[in-house]
Every structure is written in C-alpha cells, then in structure tokens.
Structure 1
Amino acid sequence: MRTLRTTGLAVLTASALALSMTTASAHDPETPEGQAAARAFMADHQPAERHAVVGTAAGVPCAGGKADIYPCKNVDLLSVLPLSAMGGGNGNDVWGWTDPSSGKEYAIVGRTNGTAFVDVSTPTSPRYLGNLPSNGGSSNWRDMKVYKDHAFIVADFITGHGMQVFDLTRLRTITTPQTLTADVLYREFGPAHNIAINEETGFAYAIGSNTCSGGPHIVDVRTPKSPKRAGCVSQDGYTHDTQCVVYRGPDAAYSGKEICFNSNEDTLTIVDVTNKANPVQISRKGYSGSQYSHQGWLTEDQRYFLLDDELDEQNGSDKRTKTYIWDLARLSAPVHTGTYNSPATASDHNQYIRGRYSYQANYQAGLRILDVDKVSSAQLTEVGYFDIYPAGDAARFNGAWSNYPYFASGIVLVNGIEQGLVVVKPNLGGSQPGGKFENAADVAIPDGGSAVTSSVTVTGASGNAPATLKVNVDIKHTYRGDLVIELVAPGGSVFRLQGSSADSADNLLTSYTVDASASAANGEWKLKVQDVSDNDTGYIDAWSLQF
C-alpha cells in the first residue's frame, strides 16, 4: 500500500483502491485511469431511492425487528429525506450543527454535486433549506466539519475545489429552498479527501490533498472567514482520515499537547502537531490483517482508539465486519489488543464515539451501535442497529456512508449513498449506563452577567458520589479565562472547578476530578458558569458526570 502514495496527486481513496488500480495514475483525476476508477466505484451504487417516510409525531418505532422497510434493533425511525428532495446526486458524508441562539439542529449533507442544508429540529419532518454547489464539478467524496458556526467543506478528485467556508447563521432566515454560495474559498490545496477540525484549538486538517504528500494540510480557522495555512504533516505520506485533539489521556509525556491520530492506509500513525511548523511523528504502527486503514475514533478518556479497515472484509479470509482495538497507554507504543468481529459482513466506513457507544456507518449493514464499556478487556458489544440497505449485507459500496451522533436531542443522522438523509433515534434506555450522565442542551453565557446553570439528574446510584467524580465540560467561549466554573451537588455543596485567569484562548473542552464523597450521588447536579469580564460571549455546549 505504501507505494501508492504520490506527492502532488489527488489520491482516490480506499474505495477506489479496492478496484485494483495499482499505479499512481489511477489516483490522478486528470488521467484516463483515474477517471475510469471513479466510474468503476460508482458502478457499485444502485439508483437513488425515493422512499420517503412521513413520520408521525413519534416517528416509526422499531418493532418486531423492523421500522417501516428497514431492519432494526433498539433504533427508531423518524424520517427519510430522499436525495431527489435535496438537490439530487448520490450521498456521502454528513455532519451536524446546533444553532447556539435557538437550539435548532441542522444536518449538513454531502452529495456528489454539492452540500445540502436541512433543518432537522422537527426530526419527523426535515426541511430542506438549500444547496451549496460543488466548486468545479462532481465528486463522489465530499466531507465537512463545523467550527464557530461555519461549515468547512472539501471534495476529492476535483482539481480546483479547495475548501469552501459557509456561515451557517445564514440558515436562520431561509424560508424557501435556494442555491447558496460560499462565503470564502480557501485555495491553498485543490482536492482533499477529508477534513478534521480540532474545535478546541481552531485548526483544521485537510487530508488526502494534493499537498503535504497527502498528509494533513493544517489551516488556522480561528477566524473562520480568514483561513490561513499553518503547516504540513508529510512524514508518513498519505493520510486517509484523522482525529486531532488536545491530549488529556494517560500518557503524561504528551499531556496538553495537540495530537493527531492518523489512519494512514496500513498503519495507525500518531503525530504531535503542537508546533504547526514542525510536527513530530510519535509512532507508526501496523497490525495483522491490515488491508486499508480507513478511519478511527478515540474513546472519551483518550485511552483507546477504535480503527476500521475498509477492505479487510473484501480481501481477508474472515468476512465479518471488524473493528480493531488499540490501547494507547503510551503514545510512542500503541498496542493492538484485540479485534471485534461483527455478525454482519459489510465493509465498515465511518465511526464516532459518544459516551460509551461507538456509532458506526457500515455501508450495506447500515448504522451499527457498539457498547465500548469493556474496551479495556478488548470487548465490544452490539446494542443496536438500523439497516438502511435491506437488500443485502455484502462488502460492497452501498448504503450508509457516515453518521452524526452528537445532537443534544439524541437523534442520529445517517447519510446513505442511494437513500439520502435518514434520521433515527436510538432507544438504548435512559441515562448512559456505566455511571455517565449527560446534558448537551446549549445554555448561553451572558457577557459579564449573572451565572447560568445547566442540570444533570442522577438516578439509580447507591450511596454517595465517589472521591474521584469526573466532570467533563465542553464550553464554547471567545475568552475562556473570563469564566468561573463550579459544580453544585444535590445537597448544595459547591466545588470550584475553575477561577478566572489570563488565559486568552477560545473554548474549554476538558475534565475535572473532584472529591464528592460527602455528597449523595442521586439528585440534581448543576454546572454553574459565570463570565466575570466584558466583550466576550459563549455557551455551555455539553457537560457530563462520570462515576
């Protein structure tokens, strides 16, 4: 696989690699071989489906293993918005945005010919708002992420596409569908396969582009409408996908550093990108059975990494869908501790972890939800699924491309290649098991005003809270040093988590540990946040208690 990396070429992606295009020209959209590869990839796809579901106020429940025409387990169907109802083409990636002023939830839906924006705040009746056309032609591979109420959109296989920047607050006033334009076009690369954004630092990572040997092309997007090139990660060549975080995991040597976890064709490659001008590769590790390291995601404690390999089901002897489990106790020496084998046989694609669940979009097998509570023992358990491609379960490129599980409402977006936008609601039972209780409702923090609170109600616990109660906070704010943050226990005890400081950075995504052993566990816990200075605003995006 390493021989396929070629500086200056728009690498086609794992899906096309499965078509046995083994020369560099097969990845260049300007060559006949590259164009043939794209046509062959799309030949797998069925015509776009037009099966719309007009849900009731409660949606279509999963009952007897079905919701409407779709096989399911513990996941209810809310609606289906076919591709024909939002601009046509075939579907690919998807992401979400919550308007901090209204709490409305929106889907950002990738398609071959553009990006659709859909109001899903009434999930049984999604409302198509408009299309941002692709810049320079059609692409089977489009990806997007969100930062500071802006969408950042890239596309592969289009020489001059660049990165489209779209101000999502423009959606607030749209009443009828319309054709939209980008606010800004970043032109420092042309095609790119994917994009990741570290929302805590404000840096975007375009990957699989025609720059940086295909590795992460780093862009400073802290001022969204003025993106600036910040660096390159080219030591290990082409990167297919990445997750970049401010590291707070168990390896003290890298605490507080900005680290990228790259799925690099046949390895997991970990890079310290704290210094954007001089990234440092920490480790590069292969694994038995690798065919194409596609994508992966960290558990919330950043101790484990779940990796999916897109081609092992096609090319390996064991055809079951597999998830590779990595222990990252030492970033310099990641260890592949085990592999989860699904009862399905479809190719896996994109997965994201929220709380104790991994939400996987696995092509013909649809959305699969895995419990990661026993990941330390290299065990994963399937607890739910929603199969948007009932016709089959083969290792081919149809059905669920990606999903978005991070809305406060608990709905999950699934974007299907042929199906369009499928909105579902997992029904996994009350608060997250394993002692994690969340509140993801946005609460505005007034500028220099009174304190605001967000509540989490704990039920089913026994006795008092632990001496090591973990408080995870995700606060969006333009000057986090202005914030005073406290945790208020059910009995009224107050734990100071953070006082005001001179820290001028944006946003706060971190965890605190408090000794709450004198407080009862059950009851209403409050996160109390106050902005004690002027000229900066923000909101509580999400927070949780973990026992």
Structure 2
Amino acid sequence: MKKILFLALFFCTVNLHSQIFQSYNINLLSLSQPNLGDEGVDNRRYSGCWGWHQVSKNKEYGICGASNGTYFIDVSSPTTPTVSGFMPGAQKSTYREMKTYQHYCYIVSDDGQNKNFQIVDMQYLPDSIHVVYNDSTLFRRGHTIWIDKDKMYIGAMIQTLPLAITSMAVYSLANPESPVLLRKLDQDLPLLSYIHDMYVRNDTVFASAGSQGLYILKFDPIMNKFSQLGTYVDYQSHGYNHSSFLTKDGKHLIFCDEVPERLPIHFVNVENLSNIQPIKDWNPTGGNTTPHNPYIRDNFAIVSCYQDGLFIYDISQPSNINTVGYFDTHPQAGQNIGNYMNAPYRGNWGAYPFLPSGIIIANDMQNGMFVLSAASAFTTTIKNPVGIKENTAQESNLIIYPNPASTQIALHYTTQNPSTLYLKNILGQVITEKEFNGSLSEYLDVRSLESGTYFISISEKGNIKTKKLIINH
C-alpha cells in the first residue's frame, strides 16, 4: 500500500475579480481554489464533489474533483478550510467523480485520455491519505459512480483488456480494497447502450440512459442478473436524461435533462414503476439556465445549475414546489448579469448537502469549492408542513477575498443588525471605519496600504468578528 503524506500543501483563496455572489437564504462560509495550474477545456479546473464524515475524529471533509486530481479538504471549521490530502490524476481531466464507502473514497474519471480507477483510504486524515489502488486493470474509465451499501455501480465503463465500453457494471465491495465485478448490464439488457448516471437504493437502479430516457432496473444479487422494472422515456420536454435522486419515502424522483441546454427540472411519482406519472416541471430561471445534478435532503431538493449556481426547493408538497434558497457560484455569467453568453455548460457542477453539520459543499467548474450554509433556506417553508422548528436567528459571517491582496478586496457580511466595519493595522490603529445598517457587500481599495498584516473586524451588538488580511504588493 502506497502512502501519501501531506504536511503542507499550497492552498489559495479565490480571486474572482472581487465579484460579489448573489444569494437568497444561503451564506458563503468559504471558497477554496486548490488547483490553479491545470486547466481543461472551457477553462474547467473542477468537476464533481462529494463529502465525508470521519466519525472517529468527528471531522468533516469536502472531496473536490479537479482537473489534476482529487483534493481532500478539511471543512470541520467551515470558514477556514484546509487541504489535508491530494490524489494526483490524469492532467487536464474535466470529468472526475467520486463516492465514499466506510473510510474509502472511490474515484473515476472520463474523457479522451488514458485513465485509472482509484481507491483512497481516508482513515488517517487529516494527516495523510493512503493509496489503495491506482490502476486500469479493473477498468480504465467511468463516467459516473454510485455506491449502494456494499455494491459499486459504474456508468459508461471502459475496460482496458479487452478494450470495450460497457453501459453499466456492478462490483462487490465485500472487500472494500479489492472490488470484484459481479455483472455487466450489457449481459442482460444489451439494448441499453449507455448509462450516463444512476441513483441506486436497495438494488433498484434509476438509470439515466441519455437519449434513451429513464430506465428503472433491478439487480438480483442471488441470481446475479439485471431486470427491467419500468421506463419513462417520452415525457414532455425530454432530452438527454442526465441524473436523478429519490425522495426518502421512495415515492418521488427528481431528475435533470442536460442536453439540449435550458430544459426544465422534472419531478415525477414513481410509486408505480410501470406507470410513472409527472408531477411538475420547472426551470430555475424561467428557461435560461441548464440544471445538471439534483439531490434530496429531507423535504428539500438541492439542484446544481450551470451558470446560475445552486438552488434549494421545498418539495414537501409535491404539487406546490417553492424556491427557498439559491447561491450563484458563477457570477461571470447568467441571470445576475443578464448574459448567458454562448457557453451553457460552465459553472456549478455538483454539490454535497449531507454532512452532519448541515453545510453544503458545491463545486463550480471555474471557481472552485464553495462551503455554504443554507440554515435559513432549510427552515423556510410555506406552512412548515414537515414540523421543522423555525429559526429566526440570522447567521452572520465575514468573507474577505482575495487574501493576500494587492489592489482591492471584496467584503461580504450577512446580518440583519446594524454593524461597524474596522480596518486596523498590526498595532491596532484604525485605518478605516464604516457603519452599516444590515448586510454589506463592499469593495475596499488597498493600493495605498503598505505590504504587511492587517485586521478586518465587524462589531455587531457588542460582538466582534475579526479576520487577518495580508497585503502583498
């Protein structure tokens, strides 16, 4: 077993030309851009993401897929994340996905290069990661991955020997360090040529088959065979069926169609798999953005949309779905500037909303890994039908970027109360003081300041929050 130990690793706060992120009921806690040098097509540096809770040490991690590998970022202190490990991968790879099982992370990648399937042992984090497997013997490429209990599903799998593409395959993780191939979908349903993504629960597979639509399959571990339970193919506004997620009660499914761009989000009733019924179709921005990956947490749907970021919906009443939060991870384009340009497939790739603390990890292809708090969104319901206790306390946070800075910084602070901003030098002398009545989004010119250490403070109702600022001309 090969060991990779990271005692120090370069880590950077994003400089987005000091743009402020538009949001509603979602607060930015931190923004990380660990990969600065390797860039794929369409200026992509990041792709899929996931999360992991280290129970033994009660620590949380964001797992960030990048174009040069996979970063393991400690977000236990979500306003000050740190890189704890890095698993190198094929360079300039713009498709990388990962899932976790026990204390292992399984990583696949997919584009026009030779690739390896990778397994990482995370139990020694935050000190180190251990490489368990980094090879193409099991398979060479996979577009997506899902883990259901002790089974691993790989979509659009490409083998090395013999060189062949398989629509989907399932592996046993009885030995987590040595997956064993159980069955290829082609062996039972050869007419399904390509499974782009899949959501699996208790061996029932909701398979997004691209232009062939949505197929519901069953893997029988006793017979070691796939069978078909149902389909949903000729639905309204259908396109390239991309990805899906099932509600906790198993009655409803949310899914997105990725191609052509700007198709709506679909919400359907799947209680009868032989007769799936549409409930609601909607588009987050009135037909402009492209929904990519959906997730469901309790009675909320969290949907990553390319140019317009992350949206949260209250789905407790399936026929009356309402927006309760959003955060634009991609201010370069989209609704915020009224310009979607000609690149619909840039921006927010995916998210992970299942960490015990409640924070959300979200990866933007150009801008990096966002750590978000959606506490306000998750307690905003129309009639509070699910019995969630209302929380009227407004979370406050202070975001400063870039840091270090040379010309100007952007300041973002969310509150409902009057507050005062202070910029102080290392001796505690006040250089700038400004009062605000509520939240602030402010630019501060620092060109006249000498290089060195400074402090930004917010005073609110007798409480003071302070962050260090480095000026480096």
Q: Please give the residue correspondences for 1:457-468 in structure 2 after superposition, counting only pairs within 5 Å.
A: none
2:199 pairs with one of 199, 220, 243: 243
Give the partner amino acid of 1:73: Y
1:330 CA drift (Å): 1.0
* Structure 2 equivalent of residue 133 of structure 1: 88
The TM-score, its normalising length taken from structure 2, stands at: 0.69
1:292 CA drift (Å): 0.8
Checking the alignment, whether the CA contact within 8 Å between 1:86 and 1:116 is kept in structure 2 is: no
* Structure 1 equivalent of residue 465 of structure 2: none
Q: Please give the residue correspondences for 1:3-42 in structure 2 after superposition, counting only pairs within 5 Å.
A: none
State the alpha-carbon separation in 1 of the partners of residues 219 and 196 from structure 2: 17
Give the partner amino acid of 1:363: Y
State the alpha-carbon separation in 2 of the partners of residues 386 and 301 from structure 1: 27
* Structure 2 equivalent of residue 164 of structure 1: 118
State the alpha-carbon separation in 1 of the partners of residues 95 and 59 from structure 2: 27
Give the partner amino acid of 2:131: A
SS at match of 2:225: coil
Give the partner amino acid of 2:195: T
Give the partner amino acid of 1:428: A
Give the partner amino acid of 1:291: G
Q: Does 1:260 align with 2:205?
A: yes
State the alpha-carbon separation in 2 of the partners of residues 430 and 382 from structure 1: 12
Give the partner amino acid of 2:345: F
* Structure 2 equivalent of residue 255 of structure 1: none
1:50 pairs with one of 3, 10, 14: 14
SS at match of 1:428: helix
Q: Does 1:229 align with 2:229?
A: no
Give the partner amino acid of 1:300: K
State the alpha-carbon separation in 1 of the partners of residues 378 and 101 from structure 2: 31
1:405 pairs with one of 342, 348, 353: 353
State the alpha-carbon separation in 2 of the partners of residues 170 and 49 from structure 1: 25
Change (3 A) 1:422 1:402: same
State the alpha-carbon separation in 2 of the partners of residues 233 and 330 from structure 1: 23
Q: Please give the residue correspondences for 1:257-296 in structure 2 after superposition, counting only pairs within 5 Å.
A: 258-266=203-211, 267-275=213-221, 277-286=224-233, 287-296=235-244
The TM-score, its normalising length taken from structure 1, stands at: 0.60
Structure 1: where are the runs of 5+ without partners? 1-47, 54-66, 175-179, 247-257, 438-457, 461-547
Partner deviation per Cα, 1:398-434 (whole Å, 9 max, x = no partner): 1111100001111101111110111110122549843
State the alpha-carbon separation in 1 of the partners of residues 91 and 20 from structure 2: 34
1:79 CA drift (Å): 0.6
SS at match of 2:330: coil
2:377 pairs with one of 411, 416, 428: 428
* Structure 2 equivalent of residue 79 of structure 1: 30
State the alpha-carbon separation in 1 of the partners of residues 220 and 290 from structure 2: 34
Change (3 A) 1:88 1:421: farther
State the alpha-carbon separation in 1 of the partners of residues 294 and 99 from structure 2: 15
State the alpha-carbon separation in 2 of the partners of residues 414 and 100 from structure 1: 22
| Higher strand proportion (structure 1 or 2) | 2
Change (3 A) 1:115 1:87: farther
State the alpha-carbon separation in 2 of the partners of residues 188 and 337 from structure 1: 41
Checking the alignment, whether the CA contact within 8 Å between 1:283 and 1:331 is kept in structure 2 is: yes
* Structure 1 equivalent of residue 131 of structure 2: 182
Checking the alignment, whether the CA contact within 8 Å between 1:138 and 1:158 is kept in structure 2 is: no
* Structure 2 equivalent of residue 383 of structure 1: 324
Q: Does 1:193 align with 2:138?
A: no
Report the number of matched residues.
353
Q: Please give the residue correspondences for 1:312-461 in structure 2 after superposition, counting only pairs within 5 Å.
A: 312=260, 314=261, 319=262, 322-344=264-286, 345-375=288-318, 377=319, 379-393=320-334, 394=340, 396-426=344-374, 427-428=376-377, 430=379, 433-435=384-386
SS at match of 1:79: strand
State the alpha-carbon separation in 1 of the partners of residues 131 and 354 from structure 2: 25
State the alpha-carbon separation in 2 of the partners of residues 196 and 97 from structure 1: 15
Partner deviation per Cα, 1:368-389 (whole Å, 9 max, x = no partner): 11111121x2x32111000011
Checking the alignment, whether the CA contact within 8 Å between 2:24 and 2:326 is kept in structure 1 is: yes
1:305 CA drift (Å): 0.7
SS at match of 1:242: strand
SS at match of 2:145: strand
Change (3 A) 1:84 1:279: closer
State the alpha-carbon separation in 2 of the partners of residues 429 and 330 from structure 1: 29
1:188 CA drift (Å): 2.2
Q: Does 1:118 align with 2:73?
A: yes
State the alpha-carbon separation in 2 of the partners of residues 336 and 431 from structure 1: 25
Give the partner amino acid of 2:280: G
1:215 pairs with one of 163, 167, 172: 167
Partner deviation per Cα, 1:315-360 (whole Å, 9 max, x = no partner): xxxx5x5111211121122223331232251111111100011111
* Structure 2 equivalent of residue 93 of structure 1: 48
Checking the alignment, whether the CA contact within 8 Å between 2:379 and 2:390 is kept in structure 1 is: no
Checking the alignment, whether the CA contact within 8 Å between 2:169 and 2:183 is kept in structure 1 is: yes
Checking the alignment, whether the CA contact within 8 Å between 1:340 and 1:380 is kept in structure 2 is: no
1:52 CA drift (Å): 7.6
Checking the alignment, whether the CA contact within 8 Å between 2:30 and 2:372 is kept in structure 1 is: yes
Partner deviation per Cα, 1:211-247 (whole Å, 9 max, x = no partner): 585422111113211211111122222011101102x
State the alpha-carbon separation in 2 of the partners of residues 172 and 49 from structure 1: 20
| Higher helix proportion (structure 1 or 2) | 1
Change (3 A) 1:397 1:274: same
Give the partner amino acid of 1:183: V
State the alpha-carbon separation in 2 of the partners of residues 123 and 188 from structure 1: 36
Checking the alignment, whether the CA contact within 8 Å between 2:38 and 2:67 is kept in structure 1 is: no
State the alpha-carbon separation in 2 of the partners of residues 168 and 86 from structure 1: 25
1:68 CA drift (Å): 6.9
State the alpha-carbon separation in 2 of the partners of residues 311 and 73 from structure 1: 27
Give the partner amino acid of 2:94: N
1:167 CA drift (Å): 0.5
**CA RMSD across the alignment:** 2.6
Identity %: 27
Checking the alignment, whether the CA contact within 8 Å between 2:121 and 2:130 is kept in structure 1 is: no
Give the partner amino acid of 2:332: A
Q: Please give the residue correspondences for 1:482-501 in structure 2 after superposition, counting only pairs within 5 Å.
A: none
Q: Which runs of 4+ in 1 moved over 6 A?
A: 85-89
SS at match of 1:124: coil
